[in-house]
Structure 1
Amino acid sequence: MSDAPLYLKPSVQMEPLFNSWYAWGMLVSPATSAMITANLHVRVLESYLQFPDLHRRAVADQAMKGGMFMDYDGDIAPVQALLDRTREHLAGKLAFAAAVKQLNELLATKTDGQSLAGLYESVPQPLKGYVELVYDLHNRPGFRLVEGMLYDSPNYDESLQSVRFSDIACDDRPFVLSSPRFASADDVDLHLPFRSPLVDALAALRTRPTSRGQVVQWLVEAGANEAQQQRFLSLLTDVAPPLDPQRHYSGDGIRVRYFGHATVLVQYAGLSILIDPAVSTASETGLDRYSFYDLPDAIDYVLLTHNHQDHVMLETLLQLRHKIGCVVVPRSASGPLQDPSLRLMLRTIGFANVIELDEFETLTAGAGEIIGLPFFGEHADLDIRSKLAYGIRSAGRGLVFLADSNALEPRCYAHIRRRVGDVDALFIGLECDGAPLSWLYGPLYTRPVQRAVDQSRRLNSSHSESAMQIIDRLAPEAVYVYAMGLEPWLGYISSISYSDDSRPIVESDRVLEQCRARQLPAERLYLKKEFVLSTVVREEI
């Protein structure tokens, strides 16, 4: 390798890890990470050690894809070592999860609507000082976590965080919710907290080259030994990356680029807004796609719709942090276990400028505005407030991004139309099957979820009838079906695999047919898409 400036190779993957598991939002927040560790990770590891062949058969069965089976076919020793390490080094988290169960039982059996003041002495020790005991207006007891204090306590342990660099040749990865990440000989694991500036420096190597000596200095600061340094250097190249010369936009109107799943880049008047970023590496699989090299050098706003692993994707967010101006997140309810604060989480891991936006609040964004919109559905009827759809207006044009919204109350969209005005492009998800409640939120429960309840309350978005109800009320000029998990490079996040007769495909086909019958342009997005909405000049009255 010459002395030329060095870049990360286009095929390098950068995964954030929590205790050797793929890190997503719920694994950063102190309370939810404790519940998931105790009620999912430990149980999966124990199950695999007892029945490894069952897990291996299950992950080979397409019908079982996305189940809580470990996708691992190596030596069993690392599995046992991870379980032992979890029991020893995460004992505080396991105790926290046990205390949540004890507190729920206490509130269920020792309250009658009278004052809760006398119960504070009975709060389990791991929760003392971190919870407020409360009733709702039906005199049902519960508790509120003081989440900011949990981050400022041993419940938040940055030593569990690390970043893994790997050179990949394909899009396939094990499903993240049920499979820990065991390192290969070629991986480079750096035990860095996510907030470390070194994460930014190393991520920026995708497009900002530096010298070999500077890279080695960063690696030494990160605690990398000589072997790790040499492996990391093998992930670098002196060949400049294939930066898209059109990544910046200065034309009239609004340019829209679809990057896959729910990731959309909106650019106008020199400003860039990126929604739910889950950006692919520049793969050689033959599937055309936008990658990190198609993003502008600065992203003014990132908009996050809700705290699910395919929408708040730390893997992408950490790699883009050095070029993000502001992250906009939905306002949380502040304290419920199931609804941790996105603002607190992101600020703790190093995002300096995070703004909470509420429903029907507006944020001025250059020559346009960002509008927070109600987001019903996809959360299995749980009381979760940190979810927000978005409207964007500029140049006389309007776009609406509904992510995984469901028309549970279609009349809501008539109110939205009055607020956002004319809608030129509507982006709507139709993953209408959805996983059951327990698939994502089961580890937060302290009692088993009844099967009938679990199957009834699903993480689903719109089907064709509800989507058309939304379309009728918003009256868009064009409809784009997105957030379907179609792209193969996101299978490890969503576990989704469709055939032509899969219900979401059939239902979205119906939407496209009904739209086209009305002469309404409609398309189900896949891989990549670009279009420009020209400036609208309205006559003064």
Structure 2
Amino acid sequence: MTEPLYRLADATLVEPLVQDFQAWWMTVAPMPASLHLQAYLVPLLKAYLQTPDFHAKAAKDPMLSGSSFVGVPQERADEVRALLQRITVQQGERLKLAEAFDEFQNQLLAEAKGQSLEPLYSRLPDVLKGKVELVYDYVNRPSMRVHEGLLYRGPHHQTDIQSLRLRRLKADAERDSLLTTPRLRGPGQVDWKVPFHDERLDRLFSLDIEPRPLGWIRDVLGDAVASDAELLPLLSEAPQALPETWTGATPRVRYVGHACVLVEWKGKSVLIDAVVPVRPEEQGPLPRISFAQLPRRIDYVLITHSHPDHLDIETLLRLRQRIGTLVVPRSSGALAGDYSPRLLARSLGFRDVLEPYFYESLPLPDGEIIAAPFMGEHGDVAHAKTAWIVRTGPERLFFAADSMCVDEVTYRDLRATVGDLHTVFMNTEIEGAPHTWMLEGFFPKKRDRKLEKNRRCRGSNSAEGLRILELVGARRLFNYAMGLEPWMEHIIGPAATPETPRMKESERLLAAARERGLQAERLQGAQEVHLRA
């Protein structure tokens, strides 16, 4: 009798966690994680414990989407209290680092007025010594440049508090906010204590495309699974048809959802801003592409920037064994928050990671991938970001993400250097969060709230978007990254409605583009993208 083979069930969700909070760059990269923990997560959990019922109700209110509320029922408040105690003990070194950084940064701002910074090194707290350089910019504003690579080798990069949580997902709405709500363990869930860089993750996630015997799977998970009865609900014996490699002479473009797009060309595949959903038991009417529908090998994954709806650690870890090269935006390292996505990716177990400069290119058969300037959207804060151009023969696709038209010359130069950008993918998020949103740890405790209302992490409005299309010589517009897919709600909140400002602006942009003879569509749900002549 042939031994049955199992793959991961379509509804099996695998969440990477850092001490029960879902992993994203602000919980993994050492200095950002330390500052975020001290300035945001610990105060958030303390606030919840004062009024747990209020938090739990507010977290479910769509009108309060994006606010800082913990979506844990009041009857589980003791578990949150225990979690807070574990955090303060197990991440004590991170908290000390953050407190010292914050205190010394304020001293720098108060005392350093252009004189030599050399005498201040003797006053550095011990926890900061060897980890920072004191610097000025050219107008004598002081700051600390972090030796980030060193932090990944020390006690502030805590792989011992990393884990994976496996469970069946009944519906997308089950997922609580990635940013504010810890994942407390529930029935039917498997908690696998394993660091993200561990090669065993590749063996587990190979089950998306290659079924294995039950004993093989038990060996991978080890002590995490107590019995077959605990493991079997996460698996499936149902056969699965895998996609064929696309070898056509024209590019095949598939929209996965939100900002995630798959481009296949002459046997090569490129995935932009990889955020890929599982298929819950109740998945609704929108079609979706999940992990088994992606190519066996993804030659390049391109990341535009680190917002969690574009850089998703959950997806990257699940696809790691299928990805040839991960391509990330280049950071300057000049600010504590301008962390290195490359170092983050290496800590996640990726070996081949590139961070090209603007206008550098990577080869494709009769084509290339070009790094392009990504203007605006980050509230004027210098963090790593790159737009991408994928050229397939004579066709050029421009993945502009949340770009703004703040400098027309940038796009004129782009067209003059690279050629017409025939197809543009861009959004119309015209409101955006304040520039300090979820980045509290990088800013002084007392801030000018008027500036926060003025400086938003927004994309282009319809007039700015139309101008970008004109400047780059576009023939097609695909309005994407609009927050319309239900599987994105745990990251960015409830799906946009026709009455939201970004959707109204989207309608204006689409109408204006069509009046000028462009193919103009708004993308929602997984679909084939047709590039009409």
TM-score by length of 1: 0.95
Q: In structure 1, the residue corresponding to 2:309 is in which secondary structure? A: coil
After the TM superposition, which of the residue ranges 414-423 and 451-460 deviates more from structure 2? 414-423
Indicate yes or no: 2:184 matched with 1:182.
yes
User: Quick check: 1:66–1:496 contact (8 Å CA) kept in 2?
Assistant: no
Q: Point out 4+ residue stretches in structure 1 off by more than 6 angstroms.
A: none
AA at the equivalent of 1:70: V
Indicate yes or no: 2:244 matched with 1:253.
no
Superposed counterparts of 1:283-298, under 5 Å? 283=280, 284-286=282-284, 287-298=286-297
User: Quick check: 1:432–1:462 contact (8 Å CA) kept in 2?
Assistant: yes
RMSD: 1.6
Aligned to 2:341: 342
CA distance in 1, matches of 2:112, 2:424: 48
Aligned to 1:472: 470
CA distance in 2, matches of 1:238, 1:497: 34
User: Quick check: 1:426–1:480 contact (8 Å CA) kept in 2?
Assistant: yes
1:465: how far off?
A: 1.1
User: Quick check: 2:12–2:167 contact (8 Å CA) kept in 1?
Assistant: yes
1:244: how far off?
A: 4.8
CA distance in 1, matches of 2:334, 2:231: 41
1:496: how far off?
A: 4.2
CA distance in 1, matches of 2:499, 2:111: 52
User: Quick check: 1:301–1:325 contact (8 Å CA) kept in 2?
Assistant: yes
AA at the equivalent of 1:54: F
Q: In structure 1, the residue corresponding to 2:362 is in which secondary structure? A: strand
Aligned to 1:30: 30
Aligned to 1:364: 363
CA distance in 2, matches of 1:516, 1:244: 37
Q: Deviations over 1:291-323 (max 9, x none)?
A: 112211100000000011111101100000000
1:377: how far off?
A: 1.3
Aligned to 1:539: none
CA distance in 2, matches of 1:483, 1:450: 30
User: Quick check: 1:482–1:524 contact (8 Å CA) kept in 2?
Assistant: yes
User: Quick check: 1:255–1:268 contact (8 Å CA) kept in 2?
Assistant: yes
1:104: how far off?
A: 0.8
After the TM superposition, which of the residue ranges 159-168 and 496-505 deviates more from structure 2? 496-505
CA distance in 2, matches of 1:23, 1:161: 8
CA distance in 1, matches of 2:316, 2:455: 30
Question: How many percent identity over aligned positions?
Answer: 37
Q: Deviations over 1:87-114 (max 9, x none)?
A: 1111111111101111112212232312
Structure 1 stretches of 5 or more lacking a match?
537-541
Q: Deviations over 1:171-209 (max 9, x none)?
A: 111111111110102111101100111111111111111
Aligned to 1:317: 316
CA distance in 1, matches of 2:446, 2:261: 38
User: Quick check: 1:11–1:168 contact (8 Å CA) kept in 2?
Assistant: yes
1:429: how far off?
A: 1.3
User: Quick check: 1:391–1:420 contact (8 Å CA) kept in 2?
Assistant: no
Superposed counterparts of 1:141-290, under 5 Å? 141-172=142-173, 173-220=175-222, 223-227=223-227, 230-241=229-240, 243-245=241-243, 247-283=244-280, 284-286=282-284, 287-290=286-289
CA distance in 2, matches of 1:367, 1:184: 51
Select the residue among 477, 480, 483 that pairs with 2:481: 483
User: Quick check: 1:147–1:335 contact (8 Å CA) kept in 2?
Assistant: no
Aligned to 1:512: 510
User: Quick check: 1:278–1:311 contact (8 Å CA) kept in 2?
Assistant: yes
In the alignment of these two chains, the number of paired residues is 529
Q: Deviations over 1:377-405 (max 9, x none)?
A: 11111122x10001111221111000011
Q: In structure 2, the residue corresponding to 1:76 is in which secondary structure? A: helix
Q: In structure 1, the residue corresponding to 2:408 is in which secondary structure? A: coil
CA distance in 2, matches of 1:219, 1:167: 17
After the TM superposition, which of the residue ranges 498-507 and 316-325 deviates more from structure 2? 498-507
AA at the equivalent of 1:393: R
Q: In structure 2, the residue corresponding to 1:522 is in which secondary structure? A: strand
CA distance in 1, matches of 2:225, 2:512: 60
